[in-house]
Every structure is written in C-alpha cells, then in structure tokens.
Amino acid sequence: MILRAEKLSKRYFRRTGQANHFYAVREVCLELHPGEVTVLMGRSGSGKTTLLHMLSGLLRPDEGSVWLGDAELYRLDDGVLSRLRNARIGVVPQGRSAIDSLTVWENILLPGLLYNGNERRLEAERWMDALGIAALRDARPAELSGGELRRMAIARALTQNPEVLLADEPTGDLDDENTIRALSALRDAAHGEGKAVLLVSHEEEARRYADRIYRMDGGKLTAL
C-alpha cells in the first residue's frame, strides 16, 4: 500500500430540499497498491473526480486524511506538498490541461523542469512513442485535437515517473485504437514499473485492465 485515504468526506454547498449542502464524497476509505491498476467506476456526479482531486492533494477534504507512505498530505506545508506532488504523484485531469505557450514536447518535459531541471528526455520519447504522439513534438496545444491533448497529458504524467498515477477519464476523448493504447500504457506502468495506478472511468473497457474495481454512488465507495 502506498496511498491511503481514511474516511474522506467533501461537502458542497447546494440549496436542495432541507439541507443547504450535499456530500460529494462521504467517508471513503481507499488504498492504492504498487503494481496494481485500480479502476473507479460510477455515473457522472457520483463523486469520482472529487475523490481523485482529494487523493492528489489538490482539494482539501472536509473530513478524513490522505497518506502517501508516511506523509499525511493535508498536514504538509504547501511548498512541501507541491514538491511531493511533483516528485511522487502524477495526475491526468479531465479536460484540457496543456500550457498553451509551450510546445507538446515542452509540456511533457515541464514537470521535470520545475524543481531539479531534470528533463527526462528518454522517458518522454518512450511514452510519446507508446501513445502515438511522437510526430506532434513541436506542435502547439492549440493545433491539437481533444484526443491528442489527452494522450499528451497521459504522456506527461508517465514521464513524471511518479509512484502514484491518478487518471480522470483518460480515455474520454479517444477512439477505440487509442483507448487501448492509453490503457495499455497505464497498465504497463503499473505492472512493469510497480506504480500504483487509479483509473477513474465510466467505460466498460477499463474493467479489462483492472486489478481491483470500485464503484462510487452518491459519494459512497463499494468494492466490486
């Protein structure tokens, strides 16, 4: 076990019925293990993305805690947490996540450059090849399709070489061929390199790559 969530809860304000808030995530406990692909399924609005953001240290939970190894994420100072996220947690968010002023190649190298100036060129080339975007090296994000941007984000997270990889609907904009490419790459990262991978997806195809499957419904997590 490398990433552990204990009784995580997150409330959002919403004027519905008698209560003025609702639980997006309610008392969720989850463990991610090295070398395993964990798939989190569920309908939209079930709290998957909120959970993923809390696990990645991007969204402070209202209750509960997240542990990466011995470190409790939300007790860390912002500088330390950011550095830790840069070194150990890779995230593929939903939607566009490219820096427009950089080329595809520079976008992929960026996480490595933020602290120690380690460019990780070899890893970048390897994952770009695996995901079929090697030819887009010098393109600008504005020139890319949604699917290409998505694969760029996956390549960026993998190039970061993190211990934990959290991907939010990574195959959302992809065709069948590229869906298989992306999911294979993520599985290879888990099985081949011992990373703990969490895939948030509502696609059945993702099940085939999973070592563990959870379902979220109304903010609650159940193992399948």
Partner 1 sequence: MKASQLPIKNLMRRPGRTAAMILLSALLALSVFGGSVVVRSLQSGLNSLEARLGADIIVLPAEAESKVSFKNLLLQGTAGAYYMDASALDRVREVEGVEIAAPQTFLASLKADCCSIKVQVIGVDPESDYVVKPWIEQSYARELGDMDLVVGCLVTADVGEIMRVYDQRCHVVARLARTGTGLDTAVYCTMDTMKALLAAAEAKGVSHKITSDGRERISAIYVKVRDGYDVDAVNSKLNGHVRKATAVRTRSMITGVSDSLAGISRTIALLVGVVWVMALAILLVAFAMMIHERRREFAVLRLLGTSRRGLSRLILSETALCSLLGGLAGIAAAAAVVFPFTTLIESRLGLPYLTPHAGAVLALAAGTLAATLVIGALAGGWAAYRLSRTDPGTTLREGA
| List of residues contacting partner 1 (CB under 8 A) | 49-50, 53-54, 56, 58-60, 78-79, 81-83, 85-87, 91, 93-102, 106, 109-111, 113-115, 117, 156, 160
Residue with smaller CB distance to partner 1, 109 or 196: 109
Residue with smaller CB distance to partner 1, 60 or 207: 60
For 27, which DSSP code? Answer: E
State the Cα–Cα distance between residues 47 and 86, nearest whole angstrom.
24
CB of 211 to partner 1, least distance (A): 25
CB of 87 to partner 1, least distance (A): 7
Residue with smaller CB distance to partner 1, 99 or 135: 99
Residue with smaller CB distance to partner 1, 98 or 189: 98
For residues 28, 84, 97, 53, the Cα torsion angle rounded to the nearest 10 degrees is 10
Residue with smaller CB distance to partner 1, 91 or 198: 91
Where does 89-120 have alpha helices with state H? 104-114
CB of 67 to partner 1, least distance (A): 18
CB of 94 to partner 1, least distance (A): 4
Q: What one-letter code names the amino acid at 9?
A: S
Token representation of residue 106:
């520079």
To which H or E segment does residue 5 belong? Answer: strand 3-13
Distance of CA 87 to the CA centre of its chain: 14
For 218, which DSSP code? Answer: T
State the Cα–Cα distance between residues 74 and 54, nearest whole angstrom.
9
CB of 4 to partner 1, least distance (A): 19
State the Cα–Cα distance between residues 199 and 131, nearest whole angstrom.
17
